[in-house]
A and B are shown apart, each in its own frame.
Chain A
């Protein structure tokens, strides 16, 4: 079967940037930077990019492109026994996109709500009461929240239409979904820095506390941020790179993706902290009292800050719409890239029609994601997000780095990369791939010790087992089962590639 191709190199790079630059860039990075030394955080962050982010991204691009397949088949072509290590990231991506769609649904709801600033003066109350209609515990699903259900439908329909024609449609969509949030972020930033109090906010964000560099926790946070922000360990970059011709550049494409992705994060920080500085001044409180990240920032703090913007309800509506449109456009290309990881994994293994595979993968995901449209949806998003990010992705990274760094001739990949790339990589890259599992194990242990000593989020142990540990065991079992399932198509393809 002839492999589909990106229309051009720019389409691939934009798709990779779109996948990497997601909600985390806007709502996670600024807060993590502020909480870990402000401007000084940039130093461990850049070190982590150089020693982990860039090497791993180059590895994923090269394995996907060289083997012309998504993660499972690409790993299988290297060594048959590596196939479960290719399914692990794909299944992790499958789990992530199921709840990510739930978050996207909330953003759709807020986008509509921004038209008349429906959240009023109590945005968190609006979020939990009007949007989520939240129940009292994860065990009390309490039926569906209709606004979330409608948002979910909008999310899946958008993803289906974007992915329907594969790289053809994705290549066109990313032109808008990558450039739009950047333009919108620039608008938000310009508004933010011209507000009174903004400079105090930026001071808070960027003033370096170099003593923080002596704190190992800050370095752990930097590596974690880099790992999560580049869509690593999800099988996406294998799949996207596999649609490029085998002789395409690898290292420069990876560098462009990294610089653009981190540039979006940094820009978001200026927009967010500039606005928070203004908000703190208006309320007469310290910036530390309003600084927030994650869902609290998106659905509570920032909508409140928007309420206070000069210009009354009209300006609040305009900037509210811009803010949520930024989140929506940032999130949608990450969401469809997560789906693409699974679609490529299945289509490459069984040789199924991609359009049909896309439809069925989305149908199954839409069904599963109904859990996040229930009144207990927020709890399940929170629990599953914590475990799949901290364990699923990091274990996925460890598996690929151990397999390709310790049980494979990594130098042969470097020999493949250098002649076709605009920037040559030295032996340092091979060493970094070999050392990466150690860094990732430190990250993993850090989270593991935290989770066994304290119940995450205060949720009862049974919910941690269902949405956390149990789900992770499920990912592990499914990775082996998928690898073991027989496929005549796969056997023929592997035979063909072995002869080559």
Chain B
């Protein structure tokens, strides 16, 4: 695979799966806080 294709692969993975991880974590944290309260 060419270097530029690898860069785009990493870029997409970071944005999409990183974004998903952060937003899901935030939702889980918020649910936990609501339960604790």
Contact = CB atoms under 8 A, between A and B. Distances in A.
B4 A422 contact: no
A244 to B, nearest CB: 13
A262 B16 CA distance: 7
Interface string A27-43: 00000000000111010
A263 interface: yes
Interface residues of A, number: 26
A305 interface: no
Interface in A37-62: 38-40, 42, 46
Given A39-B8, A208-B8, A256 B23 contact: yes
Contact of B23 (A38, A199, A202, A252): A252
Q: Decide if the interface of chain B is mainly helix, strand, loop or mixed.
A: helix
A414 interface: no
Contacts of A259: 16-17, 19-20, 23
A267 to B, nearest CB: 9
Contact of B12 (A42, A256, A260): A42
Interface residues of B, number: 22
Contact of B11 (A42, A202, A203, A207): A42
A206 interface: yes
Contact of B31 (A9, A39, A208, A260): A9
A206 B8 CA distance: 6
Given A42-B11, A42-B12, A256-B27, A206 B5 contact: yes
A266 interface: yes
Q: Which of A249, A259, A423 has the most CB atoms of chain B within a 10 A radius of its CB?
A: A259
Given A9-B27, A422-B27, A255 B19 contact: yes
Given A42-B11, A256-B27, A263 B20 contact: yes
A40 B23 CA distance: 25
Interface of A: 9, 13, 38-40, 42, 46, 199, 202-203, 205-208, 249, 252-253, 255-256, 259-260, 262-263, 266, 422-423
13 contacts: A9-B27, A9-B31, A203-B2, A206-B1, A206-B5, A207-B5, A252-B30, A255-B23, A256-B20, A260-B20, A263-B17, A266-B16, A423-B26
